[in-house]
C-alpha cells in the first residue's frame, strides 16, 4: 500500500513539474512574441521616415544607443512697470537644478533616469519633468517645473527680499516644430544622435508654443512681511510663428546646430489675485514667446560620440502697465555609444 501510494505521489509530482515547465515555456514564448512585436513596430516607425541619404543617414549595425548625461536647468523672471500707481521692479530666479542621467535609446525611442544629488541631500526640493520627441518631420520639447526656490528682490516703493520657500512657482513650457526640409535636415542628429547629419543643411520651421504657470506667495512669507499681500499670478499663452534651423557639418566629425523660432501670442489667459480679489490682465501691447536651440556634437567614430545641447524658452509680455520677461533654459553635456 505504501509503495503504491508513494508511486502515485511520484507520478503526480512528475505531472505537475511537466505542467509547470510547459507553463514556463508558454510564458517565455509569449514574452518573446511580445518583444518581437514591439521591435517590429519600432523598426517600422524608425525606417518609415524618408530622408536624403546624401545628407542624412542612420547608424549602421546598431539598435541601441546609451548615453551618460549631465543636465543643468534654471528659470528667471524680470519685471518692471507700474502697479497701483507705484513703480515696481523685480528680479527673481530659481536655484539651478543639476542632475545626472542614464539614457537608453532603442530605434529612435528613448527613456532616461535622472538623479539629483542636491535633492537627495534635502537641499533642493524642486521637481522638474522633461519630455521631447524628434522625428524628421516633427519635433517638440515639453518641460514642467514646480519650484519653491524662487528668490530675489522686489522693489515696490520699498525693497522686499524674496527667499526660498516664500513663493511657489509652477511653469509648463511646450515648443513644437514642423520641419519643411525634413529629407535633408535632422533634429535627431543634433539632439538624440539616432541619425547622423552627413552634409550641412537647413530648414524653415513652423512653430507652436505654449507657456503657462503660476506664482503664489506662501503663508510663511505673508507672516514674515506684512507689507506683502496674499498674491497669485496666473499666466497662460499660446503662440504661433516660424523660424529657421541649420546643421553645420565640419570635417565629417563635428556637427554645429542652431535654431530659433519666435511665436506671436494669439491667445492668453492672464489674471492676478490679491487678497482674494481677482483682476484680469490689461490689453497686451507686445506678447511673444521665443524658442531657441543649440548643439555641438563630436563623433569620435561611428560608435562613440560626445556633445553639449541647450534649449531655451524666453517670453516677453507687455500689458501697458508692466513688462514681464521670463527665461527658462536647459543645458546638457553627454557621452554616448551605439551598440
CA 260 from centroid of its chain's CA atoms: 17
Query: pLDDT by residue (tens digit) across 183-205?
Result: 999 999 999 888 899 999 999 99
- Cα 303 from Cα 7, distance rounded (Å): 61
Burial 72-93 (b: 16+ CB within 10 A, else e): ebbbbbbbebeeeeeebebebb
Split at pLDDT 50, 70, 90, the class of 9 is low
Split at pLDDT 50, 70, 90, the class of 2 is very low
CA-CA-CA-CA torsion sign (196, 70, 213, 77) = negative
Helices (H) and strands (E) in the chain, counts: 4, 19
Beta bridge partners of 328: 75, 313
Structure-model confidence comparison of residues 181 and 10, the more confident one: 181
CB 310 within 8 A of CB 43: no
The answer, yes or no, to whether residue 35 has pLDDT greater than 60, is no
The answer, yes or no, to whether residue 44 has pLDDT greater than 70, is no
Residue with cell 506683502: 228
CB 143 within 8 A of CB 172: yes
- Cα 194 from Cα 63, distance rounded (Å): 9
CA 86 from centroid of its chain's CA atoms: 38
CB 53 within 8 A of CB 332: no
DSSP H helices, 171-216, are 187-191
* Predicted pLDDT at 302: 85
- Cα 131 from Cα 145, distance rounded (Å): 12
- Cα 317 from Cα 70, distance rounded (Å): 32
What pTM was computed for the model? 0.81
* Predicted pLDDT at 330: 93
Average pLDDT across the chain, whole number: 81
DSSP H helices, the chain, are 2-48, 117-120, 187-191, 219-224
First to last CA, the chain: 63
- Cα 246 from Cα 133, distance rounded (Å): 18
- Cα 75 from Cα 18, distance rounded (Å): 62
Q: What is the DSSP letter of 282?
A: -
Split at pLDDT 50, 70, 90, the class of 1 is very low
Of residues 236, 210, 233, 211, the one with CA closest to residue 154: 233
The answer, yes or no, to whether residue 242 has pLDDT greater than 90, is yes
* Predicted pLDDT at 319: 72
Of residues 161, 148, 166, the one with CA closest to residue 220: 166
The pair phi, psi for residue 137, each rounded to 5°, is -95, -35
Amino acid at each position: 500500500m505504501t509503495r503504491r501510494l508513494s508511486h502515485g505521489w511520484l507520478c503526480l509530482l512528475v505531472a505537475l513539474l511537466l505542467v509547470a515547465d510547459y507553463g514556463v515555456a508558454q510564458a517565455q514564448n509569449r514574452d518573446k512574441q511580445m518583444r518581437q512585436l514591439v521591435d517590429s513596430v519600432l523598426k517600422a516607425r524608425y525606417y518609415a521616415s524618408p530622408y536624403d541619404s546624401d545628407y542624412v543617414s542612420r547608424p549602421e549595425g546598431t539598435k541601441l544607443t546609451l548615453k551618460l548625461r549631465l543636465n543643468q536647468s534654471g528659470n528667471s523672471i524680470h519685471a518692471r512697470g507700474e502697479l497701483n500707481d507705484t513703480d515696481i521692479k523685480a528680479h527673481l530666479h530659481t536655484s539651478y537644478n543639476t542632475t545626472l542621467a542614464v539614457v537608453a535609446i532603442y530605434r529612435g525611442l528613448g527613456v532616461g533616469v535622472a538623479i539629483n544629488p542636491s535633492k537627495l541631500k534635502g537641499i533642493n526640493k524642486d521637481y522638474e519633468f522633461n519630455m521631447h520627441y524628434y522625428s524628421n518631420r516633427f519635433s517638440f520639447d515639453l518641460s514642467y517645473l514646480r519650484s519653491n526656490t524662487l528668490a530675489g528682490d522686489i522693489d515696490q516703493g520699498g525693497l522686499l527680499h524674496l527667499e526660498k520657500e516664500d513663493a511657489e512657482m509652477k511653469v509648463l513650457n511646450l515648443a513644437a516644430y514642423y520641419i519643411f526640409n525634413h529629407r535633408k535636415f535632422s533634429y535627431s542628429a543634433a539632439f538624440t544622435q539616432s541619425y547622423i547629419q552627413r552634409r550641412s543643411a537647413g530648414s524653415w520651421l513652423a512653430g507652436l508654443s505654449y507657456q503657462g504657470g503660476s506664482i503664489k506667495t506662501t503663508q510663511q512669507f505673508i507672516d514674515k512681511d506684512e507689507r506683502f499681500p496674499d498674491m497669485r499670478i496666473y499666466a497662460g499663452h499660446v503662440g504661433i510663428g516660424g523660424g529657421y534651423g541649420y546643421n553645420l557639418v565640419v570635417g565629417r566629425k563635428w556637427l554645429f546646430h542652431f535654431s530659433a523660432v519666435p511665436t506671436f501670442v494669439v491667445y492668453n489667459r492672464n489674471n492676478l489675485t490679491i487678497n482674494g480679489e481677482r483682476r484680469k490682465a490689461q490689453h497686451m501691447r507686445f506678447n511673444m514667446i521665443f524658442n531657441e536651440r543649440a548643439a555641438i556634437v563630436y563623433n569620435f567614430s561611428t560608435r562613440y560620440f560626445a556633445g553639449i545641447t541647450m534649449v531655451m524658452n524666453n517670453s516677453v509680455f507687455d500689458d501697458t502697465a508692466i513688462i514681464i520677461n521670463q527665461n527658462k533654459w536647459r543645458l546638457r553635456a553627454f557621452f554616448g555609444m551605439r551598440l
